[in-house]
Structure formats: structure tokens, C-alpha cells
Structure 1
């Protein structure tokens, strides 16, 4: 009966039973007092009954305090501890079926959820710390850092993706570095070719300068040759003029000789 009253009886039932008990004891004490007043009971017996009723009231009060108040007070104290982040201490009275048991079971759920949240917060801090270290290494140009410690299953994809991303970045930077080396090599080749071209250009410029000097000499020679040709032409013209004049003299001489020949023929005929 007491176990049922303590663990299973609803709080209203408990107070109703206490009220009935107090009422019965009070009625017993009142009846003893009335009986003693009307000489229905001896005064000693009435006093004993009243004293017994009073003692019973005290006993019931102490027992009710133990059976009702202590679980409630302890539950409230544990609830305050739970609110203060005490997630490890045990929660009592979860086997009770009264209001205390209902509150204790609800607190147990809160405790479990709080523990899950605390675990999740710890896990998140570890994940953030691991990613922070990785990003710090990345900021220091260390592309070889990888997160080796596995995260909880629901977060391990983040670690895998981070490592894959770092691998991709590392490969990309390596490709960029290789391309940079190729560009530097090509630039060196271009610089060497430019130097060679510059030297050849200087040589060609010197050759052109020499050629220009030779052309100047040739031009001078051609000018002198042209002047000589003009003088020769003038001489040829003069010679032609003289030749034409000589031909006229010869023609006249031939005519004169013809005249002489005719005259001689005439003389010969005359003489004959």
C-alpha cells in the first residue's frame, strides 16, 4: 500500500487520501473529546485517544513528507542541475508512475538530448579545429596537409571532400608551376633568339653599311663612266662631222678628177 502510494498514486489521489486520513484522525480526536465531555468515555481514555490521534497525524505528516515532498524536492533540485548543464548525474524516480515519474522521464529525455547536443558540439569543435589547422597550413603554402583522423560518419564526407579539394588544388598548383617553368624556358629561348637576332641585325646593318659604301663607289664610277661616255660621244660626233666634211672634199675631188678625165679625153680626141 505504501509503495503504491509512493510510486503509483497520482498526486491528487495522494492528497485526497491524506485529507481522508487527517479527517479520520481529527474526527477520532473530536469524538474522544466529545465523549470525555459527555462522560461517555473516561478522561484518561479520551486523552489517550486524542494523543494517539495527534501522534498519528504527526506520523502521517512525516511519512507524507518523506513519500511526497522528498521526491518532488529532489526532482526539482536535479532539474536545476540539468539546467546548469549537469548532464552526467543520474536522474532518479524514473520508475515512478506519478507526476514525479513523469517529470523524471521527461528530464531523462532532456538529459539524453543535452548529451547528444554536447557530443555534437564537441564533434563540431573538433571538425572546426581540424579544418582550421588545414586552412592554416594552406595559408602557409603547405599543400601536402591532409586530415587523416576520421570524422563521425555523418561528417566524414566533409573530411573526404576537403582532402579531395586539397589534392585538386595541389595538382592545379603543380600544373601552374610546370606551366610557369615552361614559360620561363620559352622566355629564355625567346631572349636568346632575340639576342641572336640582334647580333645578326647588327651584322646585317654593318653589311648594309659596307654595301652602301660600295654602292657609293660604284655610283661615282658610273658617273665617271657616264662622263667619259659623254666625252666619247662628243668625240664621235666631232669625228663624224669631220668625216662628213672629208667625204664632201673627196666627192669634190672625185668630181674634179672626173672633169680632168673628160678634159683629157677631149684633148685626146682632138689630137687624134
Structure 2
């Protein structure tokens, strides 16, 4: 694309005197002409090459088909066979003639046309014998005239097509050039109108939606800017005239303001002088100097504020005078109260020390009683634990005796079974003896066995009876022992309950004694705290007495300071303070220091 643009720019530069439309038209037409020539040459060359390749292919095919049979006919010296071999070439499109030459003579020939064509292509192929020796030459002639005619026709057709395209493209480019140049010329006319100052004319090209429309819209913005500039210039002229008028008016107002300022400065000087004199009298302590002469309306609030401040200050001094006398009287009274409180605190501390001594003895006694009750509670707990352990042993013994009793019962059942078995064996042995007696001599041995079995059954029955008697005796003993053990368990249970009750009572007593001991200790601690508090109260009382004396001295100093002011009743503040102290019956003596 860059190469095309550079070439178009070069072509446009060749026509510097022509307009843009004509330059664009000539450039595009030149490009189309060059493109037409190139396309014609390329298409002609491609077609020529294709047709020549077709002839070469046809010649190669003919050589392949004819060379072998013609060589065989020539080797056999058969002209008819050679001509028959050449007849296959007549079917080819461009075939013209063929000759077989042997020793510079025509051995056989075949012609498709009577005359040799002007545009002929001749190909010679050597004919070989079976032993690969050259025995002749095959000369093939092909007509290239149709190919040249076809190439000429295609060239003419391509040129005509190019000319047609060239003309159509020229018309299109001309129309395009006109459509581009006319809006540009209209935009140039609008630009020249803006240059001449015709800002009222409307920019018609701004309605377009192409690049010329963008230029038109830019021109419209420029036109509006010029209109705004003209409007601003008119406004500036109007503003300059208005500013000149305002300057004249401002100068008149400044002259009038200067006169007023001079009068105001004179009035201000009078006000400042009057206030300075009044403030000097206030600084000297005279609070009776009020401003009675009225000021100008601007400064009249200042005079009222000054008079109000003087009246308020006079009232404050009078109240301070009254408060100073009251403060002095209260300080002396407080000093006396602090002295009395200090003495009473010392008396209370002495009584509290005696009470603390008694509570200390009571606390020691309660602590000893608490330790004894704790020791007794521990012994009771040990007895309860031992009793519980012995009850476990007795219960184990009761369980063991119950097992023995159950075993005796089982043994009795077993001996009863053994007795029954022995009686059954005895019956069986008797039956066996009877059967042996019936058998006669042959049953003698069986009779002896039966007798032995009967004796064994008798012994077993006696042993079972003895075991049963022994078990009954042992069962009686176990039953008696079980009764005794159960009575012992009941006694241990009562002992354990009594010990638990005694332990609980002892623990309750120990808790009560411990609580009383703690109460006594708390009372003793409280006594210590009360004693400390009383001592601190005595110290505070002494401090309060000293502070009261200091406060009384400061009140006297305040009286001296306030006495410098003259209030509205015509007397000084000191006279008022002395009169008030006389009315209260106070003297100026210092309070006595409190004892420590």
C-alpha cells in the first residue's frame, strides 16, 4: 500500500497545473492503461505457452507411437508397412506431413495437406535397428498456424476488453472526480466567504456525512467562533463605554466618600479622646466616670456599652467587697471550728485505743476457741472414717456368710441327690442278685459284683447322711454368726450416724467460732482504720486551721485592693468593708493555731 501511494503521489506530481479532479482522473487512467497492457501481455504469453506446450506434447506422442513400427518396417524394407504406421498420425489435430528418409531418399511418406504450412514445426527422430544402429530418419511436420491465429485472436480480444474496461473506468473515475471536486470547490467558496467576513452565510457542506462534511462542520465551528468573536467585540465596546461611565460615577462617589471619611475621622478622634480620658480615670480607681455626652449615631452603641461596662464593674467591685468581708468572717469561724474538731479528734483517738485493746484480747480468745473446735472436728471426722471402714468390713463378712449359707444349701441338695442315687444303686444291685440267682452257676460272678455294688451304695448313703449332718451343723453356726454380724453392722451404723451428727455439730460450732473470730478481727481492723481516719481528721483539721488563717489574710489583702476603687455612692470600698465588719462583730485578730 505504501508503494502504491508513493507511485500515485509521483503521478499526481506530474500534473501540477491541473486541478485535483483532473490530476486524479489522469493518474487513474494511466494506471488502468498500464494494467491493461500488462494483463494483455501476461494472458497472451500464458496462452502461447499453453498452445506451444500442447504442440510439443503432440509431437512427443507422435514420436512415441510411430518410431518403433516405422523402424521395424524400414529394417524389413517394407514401404507399405511404414505408410501404415504413419497413417495413425492423421488423427492428430496439428499433423501436416511425415516422411521416412533412408540414405537420403524418401522411403515412405504421408501428407495431411497438399502444401507445406507457413507456420510449420518440424521434428526429426532417428530410426534404430534391433542392434541400436541408425538406419534412417523420421521427419514429422506439424502446422502451428492455428496456434498463432488463436494467440492473435486472444490478444485482440484482451485488448478490446482492456479498452472497454479502460473507457468504463474512465467514466467512473470522471464521475467520481466530479463528485469529489464539486464539494471541495463549494467548501473553497465557503472558506473564501468566511475570509471576506460573510459569517451570516450558512455552511451547506456541514450536512454531508463524508470527509467534506467534516471539513464543512469544522468551517461551521469556525463561522460560529467568528460570530462569537464579533459578539465579544461588540460587548467589549459596550463594556468599555459602561466602564468609562462607571469610572466617572466612581470618582464622584470617591470624592463624597473622602468628605465623609474626613468627618468620620474627626468624630472618631473626639470619641477616642473622650474614651481615653474616661479610661485614665478608671485606671486611677474611679468607677463613677460615665459618658453623658452623646456620640455620633455610629459610635453611640460604643458609649452605651462603655457605660454598661462601668456600671457592671462597679457592681462587681461592690459584690467583691461584700464577698471579701463574708469570706474573712467565715475563715475565722472555720479556724475556730477546726481547732475544736482537732481537740475532739484527739479525745476520740484515746478512747478508740482503749476499745481496740479490749477487742484484741477478745480476738485472741475467739481464735484459740476456733483452733480447738477445728481440732475436735478433725478427730470426729477421723472416727467417722474409721467407722465407715469397719462397716465396709462387716458388710463384706455378711456377704461371705451369705455365700457360705448358700454353699451349705447347695451341698445339702447334692447329698440328697447322692442318697437317692445310692438307694437306686442298691435297688439295682438287689435286682442284679436276683437275676444272678436265676442264672445259676453262670451268674455267680455277676452276683459277686452286684453284692459289691450294694455295699458301695450303702457306704455312699451313710457318707451322704454324715455330710448332710455336718452341713446342717455348719449352717446353724453360719446362721448364728450371720445374726451376730448383722447386729454388729447395725451398731456400727448407729455409731457412724452419731459420729456424723457430732461431726456436723462440731463443724457448725467451728464455723460459728471462726466467724466470730473473723468478726472480732474485722472489728479490730475497723478500729485501726477508724483510728487512722481520726488521726487524718486531726491533721486535716490542723491544715484547715492553717488554711483558714491564710484565707483570712488573703481576704484582708483583697479588702485592701478593693478599697482603691471609688463606687457610685461616693465612698470608698474600704469604708464599706470596715462598716460591714463592725456590723458582724468581727475583729482583725488572727485565729489561734490548733494543737497537734
When normalised by structure 2's length, the TM-score is 0.17
Select the structure of larger CA radius of gyration. Answer: 2
Q: Which has the higher contact order (CA 8 A, sep 6+)?
A: 2
